[in-house]
Amino acid sequence: MTQNQPVTRVVDILTNAGYRHRTTPVTVASVRFEFAALLLGSERANDLIIVIDTLVDGEARIRQKVEGLSRALDLVASRRPLTVVLVGPPPRPTIVEALARVSRVLTVGTPTGDNADRFLADTLAVLLPLSLPDASEAVIDPLGEVRRQLPTDIDQDALVPLFAAAPSGTEAVQEALRELLEAPLDLDPEDTAP
Amino acid sequence: MSPSLSSVSISNFRSINGTITVPLNAPVILVHGPNGTGKTSVLSAIELALTGEIVDMQRTDANYRSHLIHWGADNSRIILDAADLATSSTIPHENIIRTDGIHGGSLLSGEVGRFFSERCYLAQATLGRLLEIYQNANPREESALTRFVKDLLGLDALDALIDGLHPAADVRNTRRLSPGYADAEAKIQAIEGRVTDNKKKLTQVLNDAMDRRVAIRAALTNLSQLPDSALGTDLPADIEAILKGSDDDRKLIALNGHRRDLASLRERALPLSATLDAHDEATAVADEQAARAAADKWRSTTGKPIELLIGELRGTFPDLPSVASTDPNTAFRTAATRIEAELQRCLRAIADDDGIIAQLEKLNQDVEQSSARVALADEQLMSITGEAEGLSRALASIIPHIHGDDCPVCGRNYHEVSSDPLVQHVSTQVARLAEQADRLQGLGRSRASAVSEQSKAERARETTVGKRLSQEARGALKARISDLTEAKRRLTDVAASVDAGADAMRREAEAQRRLSEIRNRHRLAVELRDSLAELCHILEQPALDTSETIPAAIQRLDTYVAAQEAVANDRLRRRRDASGQYQLLREQVTEIERLQKNLSSDDALKKRCEDAFAIAEHHRQTAKTTARAVANARTEIVGRVFNSSLNKIWRDLFVRLAPTEPFVPAFRLPQTSTEPVTAQLETVHRQGGSGGTPGTMLSAGNLNTAALTLFLALHLSVRPQLPWLILDDPVQSMDEVHIAQFAALLRTLSKEHHRQIVISVHERPLFDYLTLELSPAFAGDQLITVELSRSNVGASIAEPTYHNWEPDRAVAA
């Protein structure tokens, strides 16, 4: 069993996503299969993922292994959807097409450079949990955000009526603004210009 | 309400012929059927039951409702059973569609219905147009994107704040919004204007007052009444007393009096204009003596008899004036007049008495004639029967009683006496007696008249006798006439010398008068000189010397008084001017105080107003800052949401389905903070940097994937009001790789995110594949596949298959 670097990274990503790593070889319908790695879906998923290092296995061998596993699964009427993660140099398209007829094929290649992890995650994305926007993030507190944007020395008392009026609409805010502006001006009722 | 779908039963709806029932009570419903077997009809029936309309049909044909009934059927019927998860109760809903329309309403209310249409149900037609729908956001309308953003963010409050606080940014808008603010501004300006005015006025008045003080000081200096102690422009403390000072007034009054005195002296001196000297007086004395001598001579000679005569006449006329007491002419004329008058009186008395004597004689004759007539009347009366009248009446009354000649009185036959009838006789007698009665009356009247005449003449005679002069009186009158005639003669004799006497006496009187007059003038001159000397003393002028005439002295003093008056008047005028100036100065001082008071109160008022306005302005600035902060917050939120929510999840979804596509679709953010959300679609390269629009950068398949993932991203970005995803054959133009990824995504949404998924596909291999991929993965998980087909006679058939979880035997979990 070869645990080379790219395979390890794929396995790490998948196990972090909740997949369970199984040791190989694994026997299906009395047939032994050996892969670079084999992972099973979480408790709420049937996935069977095999990771193949194309540097280690030749194209014919890969095809043989995958098609064999597929047939074995069929024989035992397994409902596990099969996903093949190909690490290393991508095989010829005809081989990939052949694999795709019996499984979901994810060609990882040999990601390098700064975006290697990102590329790897993108390629494996369909296997990874879908992280939805946090409900609390989606239902945002707009006025809270406004407060964060305001300078710290802002006149908080003046804001109260404005913010209170905001849910009632533009006219309510305008009215609140007008009252805010005019309130201090009414302090001098006895004054009359000569 | 949070419903879950249980089943839908559809009759004669669109391409559904007959009735089919599709179970919906599983996490995943997979509907398969060849084209034309009614997959879309089933899904649109669900939409219609939930929302009352079919949005994508509505987009292309507003009249779509009339095409909903299956061809040849009378009506359509949709029965959708839902379950309220909260109460576990069943909510049945039924729509019947007839030619007159759709009956039964909708299961979901407006907002939730709209959420379903936009976020839960992806019709085939919508998928093709989805990018277009979200790209073409008209800022003036509530676009799908705007609705999405609002759903997502609840930015209404921020928009209200931005729009509501907008007037704070520009003071002109602030004034429009708040008349009070504008008024306060205007008021402060008005006060400032007033203060400027008042300051200008104050400066003016202060300068004027200074000028006026200088003028008053100049006047006081002129009046020699400015004390040395008064310095600079100060005015002496007793200025009012000084200005009120009455010296000049008194002096002027005195001068006025002197001038009147001088005028009076001038008037009195007028008679002195003729030259007078001692010679005049001497002549007058000589004239007077000569005239007196001449008069005395006349009195002692010619005048003497006249005086004597008049003295005699005084015996008769005691009140006659003497010559000495009057003048000869008067005495003479008076005596002559009186003598003549008395003479005439006496002559008239004699003549009157002669008249009375003649009258007496006539009266005597009258008395005698009247007596004679009385005697005649008496004689005739004697001859007439006194009873004539009564007898006549008695006889007349007898006549009716005479019948024949027998006398009714004595009974004798009258025929015995006369041949005439008795009646004739009595009648004749009656007539004779009546005639006598008339005559008797006439005689009586004549006699009475004569008696009256007689007595009247006798009374007149008695009166006239009384008027007669006695013999003594008559004699005395005649003697007096004689005396008077004599006196008259004597007066006539001396008449010639009377005029000469009168002339001498007149000349004497004239001389005396002239002498007296000359003496009076001398006396007057002395008096006048005395008065002038006194006046000179009073006026402190040189005394008169003998060579100075009175008019000259008067003129000299008059000139002096006039000059003094002029001086006094001038001082008075100056004082009056100074008083006037001082009065104005006092008014100006009052004005200065008033202005200073106004300025002070205006300053205070201005400060109050400005303080209040400063608070308002502070509030305005706060509002302005807040508006900016709100705009920034809005930008921040929108940016955050687009970047961290929508774009992030869209990218995530898109990358899952198209892992090899280097360009990823995204919304480009609004550029400004205040505009409505008008994000545009673009692509970004995975390595960074933006590409063109999705249409130019993506293949048709990936464009389809972009739309599909946009729909899912929109669904997932907002709080799921309905946890449903109903997809109508969304993978028609996908290749196998994409389909495999999409299947994994659907599984994730179903298993991990608990969305109930209803999806229709038309390809068998795909259907089989999805059946495998979406198989139940744990106990309780379930998949329902529904095969749609048609019977030989064309009736729709729906055949559901329930897939339950079984532990996997191939690879132990």
pLDDT at B758: 94
- Token pair of B530, please? 């005395």
What is the rounded end-to-end Cα distance, in angstroms, of chain A? Answer: 102
Of A48, A185, A187, which is closest to B181 when you measure between CB atoms?
A: A185
- Is the pLDDT at B786 greater than 90? The verdict is yes
- Token pair of A192, please? 């009359």
Task: Give which of B149, B177, B630, B805 to mutate to test A binding, by max A Cβ within 10 Å.
Answer: B630
A142-146, A162-166, B2-6, B59-63: range with highest mean pLDDT: A162-166
Handedness of CA B80, B84, B85, B89 (dihedral sign): negative
> B122-145 burial string, b = 16+ CB within 10 Å, else e?
bbbebbebbbebbbebeeeeebbb
Handedness of CA B621, B623, B629, B634 (dihedral sign): negative
DSSP code string of chain A: ----HHHHHHHHHHHHTTPEEE-S-EEETTEEE--SEEEE--TT---EEEEEETTTS-HHHHHHHHHHHHHHHHHTT--PPEEEEEESSPPPHHHHHHHHTTSEEEEEE---STTHHHHHHHHHGGGS---PPPHHHHS--HHHHHHHHS-TTS-HHHHHHHHHHGGG-HHHHHHHHHHHHHTGGGG-TT----
Task: Give the span between the Cα atoms of A150 and B630, in whole angstroms.
Answer: 8
Task: Give the span between the Cα atoms of B32 and A152, in whole angstroms.
Answer: 61
- If pLDDT is split at 50, 70 and 90, which confidence band does B30 have? very high
* CB-based contact, A26 to chain B, within 8 Å: yes
- Token pair of B440, please? 């008797």
Handedness of CA B107, B112, B113, B118 (dihedral sign): negative
Cβ–Cβ gap B633/A148 under 8 Å? yes
pLDDT tens-place string over residues B434-483: 777 777 878 888 888 888 888 888 898 888 888 888 888 889 989 989 98
Q: What are phi and psi of A37, to 5 degrees?
A: -160, 155
Location of structure tokens 């043989």: A64
Q: Please check whether residue B97 is in contact with residue B103, taking contact to mean a CB–CB distance below 8 angstroms.
A: yes
- Token pair of B808, please? 């996997």
Cβ–Cβ gap B748/A130 under 8 Å? yes
pLDDT at B777: 86
pLDDT tens-place string over residues B377-417: 888 777 776 667 778 788 888 888 888 888 888 888 888 88
Of B161, B716, B740, which is closest to A104 when you measure between CB atoms?
A: B740
Task: Give which of A94, A120, A122 to mutate to test B binding, by max B Cβ within 10 Å.
Answer: A122
Of B619, B781, B806, which is closest to A158 when you measure between CB atoms?
A: B619
Cβ–Cβ gap A115/B644 under 8 Å? no
Give the mean pLDDT of B68-90.
85
Which helix (H) or strand (E) element contains residue B285? helix B278-300
pLDDT at B13: 93
Beta bridge partners of B193: none
Give the mean pLDDT of B785-791.
93
Percent of chain B scored above 90 by pLDDT? 15
Q: In what order do the strands lie in the sheet containing B724-728? A: B121-122, B724-728, B756-761, B28-32, B782-790, B796-804
Look over chain B and give the mean of its residue pLDDT values, rounded to a whole number: 84
pLDDT at B139: 52
- Is the pLDDT at B737 greater than 70? The verdict is yes
For every one of its 194 residues, what pLDDT tens digit does chain A have, with 9 covering 90 and above? 444 578 888 999 999 988 999 887 888 888 888 888 999 988 778 889 999 988 888 889 999 999 999 999 988 888 888 999 999 888 888 998 899 888 889 988 888 777 788 888 888 888 888 887 765 454 567 777 788 888 888 888 888 888 888 888 889 999 999 988 888 886 554 444 43
Q: Which residue of B has its CA nearest to A182?
A: B180
ipTM of this model?
Answer: 0.82
Task: Give the span between the Cα atoms of A33 and A27, in whole angstroms.
Answer: 6
Tell me which long-range contacts A19-23 makes (C-beta under 8 A, separation of at least 24).
A19/A47, A19/A49, A19/A127, A20/B813, A22/B811
- Is the pLDDT at B208 greater than 50? The verdict is yes
Least confident window among B127-141, B428-442, B508-522 = B127-141
Cβ–Cβ gap B659/A126 under 8 Å? yes
The more confident residue out of B724 and B118 is B724
Which helix (H) or strand (E) element contains residue B568? helix B550-640
Location of structure tokens 């744990």: B778
Cβ–Cβ gap B154/A163 under 8 Å? no
Min Cα–Cα distance to chain B from A4, Å: 23
pLDDT at B273: 60
Interior CA angle at B304 toward B301 and B308, to 5°?
Answer: 165
Location of structure tokens 């006449």: B313
Min Cα–Cα distance to chain B from A86, Å: 13
Cβ–Cβ gap B740/A105 under 8 Å? yes
- Is the pLDDT at B22 greater than 70? The verdict is yes
Give the mean pLDDT of B142-157.
67
Distance of CA B257 to CAs B535, B538, B541, Å? 11, 12, 16
Residues 99-128, chain A, touching B (beta carbon < 8 A): 100-101, 103-107, 115, 118-119, 122-123, 125-127
- Is the pLDDT at B665 greater than 80? The verdict is yes
Cβ–Cβ gap A140/B637 under 8 Å? yes
* CB-based contact, A152 to chain B, within 8 Å: no
Beta bridge partners of B745: none
Location of structure tokens 């009564």: B390
Percent of chain B scored above 70 by pLDDT? 93
Cβ–Cβ gap A167/B160 under 8 Å? yes
Give the mean pLDDT of B688-704.
84
Q: Which residue of A has its CA nearest to B613?
A: A185
Cβ–Cβ gap A81/B744 under 8 Å? yes
Residue A72 CB neighbours (<10 A): 20
**B770 three-state secondary structure:** helix
pLDDT at B278: 58
Which helix (H) or strand (E) element contains residue B198? helix B179-222
pLDDT at A194: 39
Which helix (H) or strand (E) element contains residue B424? helix B422-467
- Token pair of B772, please? 């495998």
Q: Please check whether residue B761 is in contact with residue B6, taking contact to mean a CB–CB distance below 8 angstroms.
A: no
Residue B331 CB neighbours (<10 A): 25
Residues 53-82, chain A, touching B (beta carbon < 8 A): 72-73, 76-81
A48-52, A127-131, B315-319, B664-668: range with highest mean pLDDT: A48-52
Task: Give the span between the Cα atoms of B276 and B407, in whole angstroms.
Answer: 136
Cβ–Cβ gap B745/A130 under 8 Å? yes
pLDDT tens-place string over residues A26-76: 888 888 888 889 999 887 788 899 999 888 888 899 999 999 999 999 888
Q: Please check whether residue B798 is in contact with residue B22, taking contact to mean a CB–CB distance below 8 angstroms.
A: yes
The more confident residue out of B20 and B383 is B20
Task: Give which of B149, B161, B663 to mutate to test A binding, by max A Cβ within 10 Å.
Answer: B161
Query: Parallel, antiparallel, or unpaired: how do β-strands B756-761 and B28-32 relate?
Result: parallel
| CB-CB neighbors (< 8 A) of B156 in chain A | 167, 169
| CB-CB neighbors (< 8 A) of B158 in chain A | 142-143, 146, 166
- If pLDDT is split at 50, 70 and 90, which confidence band does B78 have? very high
* CB-based contact, A192 to chain B, within 8 Å: no
pLDDT at B2: 63
pLDDT at A192: 46
Task: Give the span between the Cα atoms of B193 and B191, in whole angstroms.
Answer: 5
pLDDT at B227: 61
Min Cα–Cα distance to chain B from A55, Å: 21
Least confident window among A71-75, B40-44, B89-93, B153-157 = B153-157
Which helix (H) or strand (E) element contains residue B145? helix B144-153
- If pLDDT is split at 50, 70 and 90, which confidence band does B76 have? very high
Of A80, A118, A178, which is closest to B178 when you measure between CB atoms?
A: A178
Min Cα–Cα distance to chain A from B177, Å: 7
Task: Give the span between the Cα atoms of B122 and B43, in whole angstroms.
Answer: 10
B433-442, B633-642, B695-704: range with highest mean pLDDT: B695-704
- Is the pLDDT at B12 greater than 90? The verdict is yes
